[in-house]
Structure 1
Amino acid sequence: MADLEPQEGAASPRCANPDCHVGVDGRCIEGFSDTADCPQFGRIPITPDASVSGAYPEPRNGVAMQASTTLSVDEADDVVKERPSRVIAIAGPHAAGKTSLIAGLYDLFQLGQVGNVAFAQSFSLQAFEQAAHDSRAASRRTTPNTARTERGEVRFYHLELVDTDSGAVPSVLLGDRAGEEYLETRSNPMSAQEFPELRRADVLTLLVDGQRLLDAGQRHNLRSEIRQTLQAFVEAGVVRPSQRLALVLTKLDVIRKAVDGGERAFQGFDTLVAGLRADYGTNFAAVESFRIAAQPSTDGAKRGENLDHLLEYWMAEPLRYRPATMVFEVPEAERYFARLMPVAKGVQ
């Protein structure tokens, strides 16, 4: 540090960094031992000009940006009341791929339109970014990962989307709840009544973990879990005939990379779908199956494969918006007043 010592009779060394006092104590705040190596040394110090009024306006009290996180039940209710909406309940065991599905859909919209659906706005951009971060290169992880959903009250990711074919601009609310809570309904079906996203859902989406279907020892257990969970929802009375059911096979890339090509996993999924459609088809307006790779961990599928088909299913107009069909029976009578009758009740 000898060359940083001020010389007698010489002008004090100066630094462009206002926090550096090299001219007083001879110590470089950047840690350089030789001033020639410091890019700030010898330059004119940068200090704010207090005489310039309005250059840095004071923040106004009471003005704040919206949090842009997931929505509470009450906030989601407000969205449903104010605008056309689609409520999507996504259920499945832990690690089935729920967060990957949500984050993968968000990442697809970063690239542009998904099928015939375009992004308009979101109240949950920060939450989407947090969900997607660990699967990106910026996270510096060696393999893609997604955060685990914590137990607690359901939260909703919000998307406002444009159907470029019909021109509809609905809000899509994706329910996010820990998978363990759904599985616990198998032993206590009535606990499902405490999950408002199930009763309000336009589409109930059940995720089937493709990686577990590859394991002969877990294949039967997984199918039993899905069947028992759906049975619990039905027993609890939280499903209704106007709802649609989506059965979604996740991790398509992992299945394709399996030694046997994943044929047994595909067959197991098809068997599950056929059984659920036969046993519970009358409880729903429609039952459809999908095979997706939201955020592939291998090269067995492209990113977001088949999410456009699932999104199209979600975007379909909910049956709860269909107007009631009015049934009138005009009595036969000669006198006009004899034909008057009470207003008929709506029949769905």
Structure 2
Amino acid sequence: MRTLRSTRRLGRSGIEVSALGMGCWAIGGPWAEGSTPLGWGAVDDEESVRAVRRALDLGVTFFDTADTYGAGHGERILGRALAGRRHEAVVATKWGYTFDEQARQATGKDASPTYLRRAVHDSLRRLGTGWIDLYQLHLADLPVARGQDLVGTLEELVADGLIRAYGWSTDRPDRAAAFGRDAPHAAAVQHNLSVLRDAPDMLAVCNRYDLAGINRGPLGMGLLTGKYGPGSTLPRDDIRGWTSGWLEWFRGGRPAPEWLRRVEAARAALTADGRTLAQGALGWLWARSDRTIPIPGCRTVAQVEENAAALAWGPLEPDHFVEVERQLAALRAAALRAVDRPYWPSPMQPVAVS
């Protein structure tokens, strides 16, 4: 078994976090844009509080949320769970989307410095804390120049002691590079990364600019837990239960068959040494890069316990890591032969970062 250092540095900030975080989107509970659900369905707030506290007990110190999760409710629940233990935790939240707390409705977006200042104070109030450790721009495709225009305000918030560091939640390497290159207290980029979807270009940005890679979707929105199969159907109040252009892993409330094939192709290698599928998927991320901090979503104590147990297993063994890539490469090759074109970008193909 390969040893995993229990903490990792949050980029160039010097902040130490657990190598595993807890994603807090699901504990926000229901919220929507019009009639379109944006949450993961109904939750038990008391179980959410127990899950956060159990994570702390098991050595998970990094908690990632956003002001818009549950239209503010997610921050309130996280703040309640951390009451009396705030000093044990590193809290990351996000801003950029606007919402109506009472109606639990998303209402739009605002990338202005004025809104940024208002949003940080609102998040501090909901979280019940005097500072935010990592404050992340949530607008993934905001033009680079507009993102850079916010750096001055973010630096003022650092100087005021309201935030310790900041980053961008985006899958666009040029956005991450802009913060990494030009923003003094930028520490991280939050991006999609999993066995199912590698991100070599983003990892190259992290390496070049000394940023942490906070991995959203590390378990494929549940596909890499083994819980879902071809016959699974998600409820309509779950964001995975409706068809969305950006939600590639599910279609019409069901797991997409092509993604299930990839899960099955990797399953044997991910679980070869006795790990669960989810624990193997987390181990793959730690083996992929020493900058990765996966944040699997949890809303129950049982989910927290299974994910936290992956820390003891550590990174996936090198031969198992290679076997995962071999199996997935064979699946890509078969798809190429079937349709005469790639349906899935090959991982492990980093490109130069300017």
TM-score (norm 2): 0.31
Structure index of larger Rg: 1
Q: Choose between structure 1 and 2 for higher RCO, CA contacts under 8 A separated by at least 6 residues.
A: 2
